[in-house]
């Protein structure tokens, strides 16, 4: 009886191994091709979990992403991390080739640029706080434009009298400028070069200076894309 049980058990084990072999993961080069195809076909950043759900069982998209990032590091397009997703984007040093089109299709007023900068560095921030920093009022049209462009969105309400709504930047904003998170925003030097730090909103200078103290390495990063344009 014992011998029959052992034989039956061995048969099951062999069967299980054979069945598993039918679903072996693709080779590493093939996995890299799959990840590359998915990223090129996606208009939005793709997370590792999304890659796993689309690829055959046993695939290792993390390793494929590492290989692709290295492969594209010296090419005209790079593999970049945006929030918790991955996307293929134009290399930062070649962004000037697209600048004319960007300026024509994404041109913002001075008020909109200042408002966007304040939201990016002070988020979550209320309309009143934006006005206090700028020193002038913020028109509804300016806020509506940034909302329509999907560069800002409504954040949580503040636990202050009146429970005012706040504004924060969106993932689309981070994706557009090639940023992984708001921590990767340009530092004080870059903002001065762009002409965004003026006496009209001195509190902005103080805030960015504090950010630079906490993230000193950001101010020395010369490869950051031009974030704010007139």
Predicted confidence (pLDDT) per residue in 18-56, tens digit: 444 445 788 999 999 999 999 999 889 999 999 999 999
1-11 mean pLDDT: 51
Residue 179's pLDDT band (cuts 50, 70, 90): confident
Domain boundaries in the chain? 2-90, 98-220
CATH code assigned to 98-220: 1.10.10.10
Predicted confidence (pLDDT) per residue in 82-132, tens digit: 888 999 998 888 887 876 654 455 577 888 888 998 998 888 999 999 999
210-221 mean pLDDT: 44
Nearest in space to 138 (alpha carbons), one of 161, 109, 163: 109
For the domain made up of 2-90, give the CATH fold.
Answer: Arc Repressor Mutant, subunit A (1.10.10)
Q: Which residue has the higher pLDDT, 163 or 100?
A: 163
C-alpha pair distances (Å), 60 with each of 28, 51, 64, 73, 186: 8, 9, 7, 20, 34
Contacts 24+ apart (CB under 8 A), 129-133: 130/167, 132/203, 133/201, 133/203, 133/204, 133/207
Does 2-90 match 98-220 in CATH topology? Answer: yes
Residue at token pair 């434009």 = 145
Residue at token pair 């010296």 = 74
Residue 4's pLDDT band (cuts 50, 70, 90): low
């Amino acid at each position: 009886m014992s011998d029959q049980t052992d034989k039956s058990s061995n048969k099951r084990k062999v069967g299980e191994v054979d069945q598993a072999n039918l679903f072996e993961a693709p080779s590493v080069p093939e996995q890299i091709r799959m990840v590359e195809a998915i990223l090129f076909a996606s208009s939005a950043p793709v997370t590792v979990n999304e890659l796993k759900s689309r690829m055959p069982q046993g695939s290792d998209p993390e390793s494929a992403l590492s290989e692709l990032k290295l492969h594209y590091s010296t090419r005209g397009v790079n593999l970049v991390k945006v929030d918790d997703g991955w996307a293929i984007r134009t290399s930062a040093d070649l962004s000037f080739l697209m600048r004319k089109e960007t300026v024509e299709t994404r041109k913002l007023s001075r008020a909109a640029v200042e408002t966007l900068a304040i939201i990016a560095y002070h988020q979550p921030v209320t309309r009143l706080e934006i006005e206090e920093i700028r020193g002038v009022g913020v028109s509804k049209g300016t806020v509506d434009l940034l909302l329509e462009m999907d560069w800002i969105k409504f954040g949580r309400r503040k636990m202050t009298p009146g429970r005012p709504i706040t504004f924060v930047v969106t993932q689309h904003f981070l994706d557009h400028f090639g940023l992984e998170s708001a921590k990767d925003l340009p530092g004080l030097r870059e903002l001065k070069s762009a002409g965004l730090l003026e006496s009209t909103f001195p509190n902005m200078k103080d805030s960015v200076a504090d950010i630079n103290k906490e993230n000193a390495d950001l101010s020395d990063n010369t490869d950051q894309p031009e974030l704010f344009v007139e």
